Amino acid sequence: MNRLAQESSPYLAQHAGNPVDWWPWGEEAFAEAARRGVPVLLSVGYSTCHWCHVMAHESFEDEATAAFMNRHFVNVKVDREERPDVDAVYMAATQALTGQGGWPMTVFLTEAGEPFYAGTYFPPQDGHGLPSFMRVMGSVERAWREERDKLLGNAQALTEHVREAARPRPSDGAFGPELLERGVENLRRAFDADRGGFGGAPKFPAPTTLDFLLTRPDGRLMALHTLRRMLSGGLHDQLGGGFHRYSVDDAWRVPHFEKMLYDNAQLTRTLLRAYQVSGDGAFARAARAALDYLRREMLAPQGGFYSAQDADTPTPDGGVEGLTFTWTPAEVQAALAGSGPDDGAADAALIARHLGVTDPGNFEDPHQRAYGRRSVPFVAVPVPDLAAELGQPEAEVQARLDALKARLLAARQTRTQPGTDDKVLTSWNGLALAAFADAARILREPAYLEVARRNADFVRAHLRRPDGTLRHVWSGAQARVEGLMEDHALYALGLVALFQAGGDPAHLHWARELWQVTQRDFWNDGAGVFMASGGSAEALLTRQAQGFDSAVISDNAAGALLALWMDRYFALPGAGDTARRTVESFRLDMLAAPGGFGGLWQAAAFLHAPHTEVAIIGTPPERAPLEAVAARHALPFTALAFTEAGGDLPVLEARPGGGLGFVCVNRTCDLPTRDGATFDAQLARLG
């Protein structure tokens, strides 16, 4: 009996019709394994994962494969986004066994949850450079039957290795400001000076690393070059805005097509910071396009943000990766037909040349070759080159291209769309909250602030418990799963950004409440790190202390950054020391692999930055001129307070209103001013 039909996870629901006898994660599944005397086959993935779909179609929908699974295993499905704590534990085991990780993840466990064999995608037959899924299962079943004692010994050894690797260790030394320069230099060694980014294919956006580099005068050019190359590639959705998951090539041209909330939220903030640092309006336009995409396709009516959109477009024969997003010249011509006396031929030729849409194409789904080669739009011929060829002003050519892109997007919206994972994750919503709040403040756009406020209202109403803790997921109109460190820290950081944009102290005080939860439930004082799950959470093999940024800034980086904001705004005793100890606990890892610890590098830069405060006090009309001046300045580590009147925050105490601006460094303040030029000069000295 497949037990997934009643689960609220969209990923589990995708597998409710499989002939596999799936169980959701829980004690009942492991009790059943003990009763039957068989191993557990744990399958972990997520709803928008392309290779998860491939393995499901090849294996989990196959009657013979399912029959073997049902006969010899208790089969458990886990949504890694709904249960990142479970995923993290068994991903550590998979990486220890295979040297790599990813999804779908397949792990074989004892009835006690101890792993003894693992892998990621297994094809149904040999010939892909991997053993077939049936061969793997057959080998595991035979070893369980004939060599169980040896297998159990291996499981115990692997479990102890995972526990030892996850065991927090105290700080290994001080992190001085001189190490920031070493971090930048280590990143420079891996930097692709031509195409941007770090290392070769596949290339990931790495927003936390780019954010760190944007705070460093010696690293900004690497970040800006990378972002410009990303914006010109197919990773960036040239028509609909936002970003796909990663680039399969080293030129950002052909993406893996799924779209994740966390990528688009984090990269929007990165683009906004790049705009402030460089003054390049292209970054602001790209940020607006990403926010428009999130509002258009990822915002629930209640105010929360959905998690992701699929890489695959549903088709009668299963699904084709990227079909919604790719084009042929004939499709471009058809979409623009009737746009001129030549039936749109000139417009089609222009936009196809600009976006690299050709008959040979640059992408084909290897599993659906019947759909042929198609083109991922990218900037093949830049606007200045087209303008020179046409003998027209760049602005005129850009306007024409924008109008044509809008028509192509409208045509694209009539196609079958990829599926959307409509669960709302608190942690990822914290990232989106911060993106919209920053955009409201930097781009001076009230509509973005309204989206951010509605999100905060939604989370307070639906995901906050009476004791102040948060739930992790809202799905099927229900809040589920005990909140993790990532939920409390990332949502608190979003609330800090919302206070900076909207000026309501209630949002900052809520962030302080969540900070107190992180201290009580997740801080390990003996080791000086934050744990991923709380002490009252379900007992797994081990509790993780994450410092490495995966696709999302790590728990410990988020905790350290939140600690520093609490120190800046409230002067909370011990908050600064918490941040220092957290950074120092990961010092050696940060120096050895700087590209994986961008969040902690940001925390280290914040830790060693001067104590700076900027307050603008008065009614909204009184504040507006100085807020517009402040919006032009990159102030990533400055306590901003734009409010109607003084309050109980140190940054506001005993300061009059009337539209006065206050700039302070290390608790020494310039004379307050209402003059925009004076205020601009004061802020410039902070950078």
**Residues counted in the chain:** 687
Measure the N-to-C terminal CA separation of the chain; round to a whole number of Å.
62
Which DSSP category does 612 fall into?
A: E
Please, are residues 412 and 238 in contact by the beta-carbon 8 Å criterion?
no
pLDDT, residue 450, reads 98
What does the pLDDT look like over 312-325, one tens digit per residue?
999 998 899 999 99
Q: Which residues of 608-619 are buried (b: 16+ CB within 10 A; e: fewer)?
A: bbebbbbbbbbe
Q: How confident is the model at residue 627 (pLDDT cuts 50, 70, 90)?
A: very high
Among 286, 187, 202, 323, which residue's Cα sits nearest to residue 251? 202
Q: How confident is the model at residue 128 (pLDDT cuts 50, 70, 90)?
A: low
Average pLDDT over residues 537-556: 89
Please, are residues 464 and 470 in contact by the beta-carbon 8 Å criterion?
yes
CA atoms within 13 A on the CB side of 64: 5
Average pLDDT over residues 440-448: 98
In the predicted structure, residue 418 carries a pLDDT above the cut 90: yes
The full DSSP string for 452-467 is: HHHHHHHHHHHTB-TT
The full DSSP string for 101-169 is: --SSEEEEE-TTS-EEEEES---SSS-SSS--HHHHHHHHHHHHHHSHHHHHHHHHHHHHHHHHHHS--
Average pLDDT over residues 30-35: 96
Q: How confident is the model at residue 648 (pLDDT cuts 50, 70, 90)?
A: confident
What does the pLDDT look like over 176-227, one tens digit per residue?
999 999 999 999 999 999 999 999 999 999 999 999 999 999 999 999 999 9
Q: What is the rounded CA–CA span in Å between residue 152 and residue 29? A: 19
In the predicted structure, residue 126 carries a pLDDT above the cut 70: no
Cβ burial, residue 194 (10 Å; 0-12/13-18/19+): exposed
Q: How confident is the model at residue 656 (pLDDT cuts 50, 70, 90)?
A: confident
In the predicted structure, residue 130 carries a pLDDT above the cut 70: no
Domains, the chain, with CATH or none: 3-166 (3.40.30.10), 184-421 (no CATH), 424-608 (1.50.10.20), 609-686 (3.40.30)
Please, are residues 565 and 498 in contact by the beta-carbon 8 Å criterion?
no
Structure pTM?
Answer: 0.95
In the predicted structure, residue 127 carries a pLDDT above the cut 80: no
Please, are residues 151 and 114 in contact by the beta-carbon 8 Å criterion?
no
What does the pLDDT look like over 235-271, one tens digit per residue?
999 999 999 999 999 999 999 999 999 999 999 999 9
pLDDT, residue 568, reads 95
Helices of type H across 309-445: 329-336, 345-355, 383-390, 394-413, 426-443
How far apart, in Å, are the Cα atoms of 393 and each of 348, 384, 385, 390, 401? 20, 9, 11, 9, 13
pLDDT, residue 520, reads 97
Helices of type H across 446-543: 446-462, 485-502, 505-521
**Among 152-156, 497-501, 576-580, the least confident range:** 152-156
Please, are residues 483 and 427 in contact by the beta-carbon 8 Å criterion?
no
What does the pLDDT look like over 395-408, one tens digit per residue?
999 999 999 999 99
Q: How confident is the model at residue 596 (pLDDT cuts 50, 70, 90)?
A: very high
What does the pLDDT look like over 301-313, one tens digit per residue?
999 999 999 999 9
Average pLDDT over residues 604-615: 96
Amino acid at 543: R
In the predicted structure, residue 109 carries a pLDDT above the cut 80: yes
Structure tokens at 551: 């696709």
Output the CA torsion sign for 61, 64, 69, 71. positive
Q: What is the rounded CA–CA span in Å between residue 353 and residue 348? A: 8
In the predicted structure, residue 652 carries a pLDDT above the cut 70: yes
Amino acid at 299: L
Token pair 């417009």 is at which residue? 347
Please, are residues 327 and 357 in contact by the beta-carbon 8 Å criterion?
yes
In percent, how much of the chain has pLDDT > 90? 87
In the predicted structure, residue 129 carries a pLDDT above the cut 70: no
Q: How much is the mean pLDDT over the chain?
A: 94
Longest dimension (CA), the chain: 83
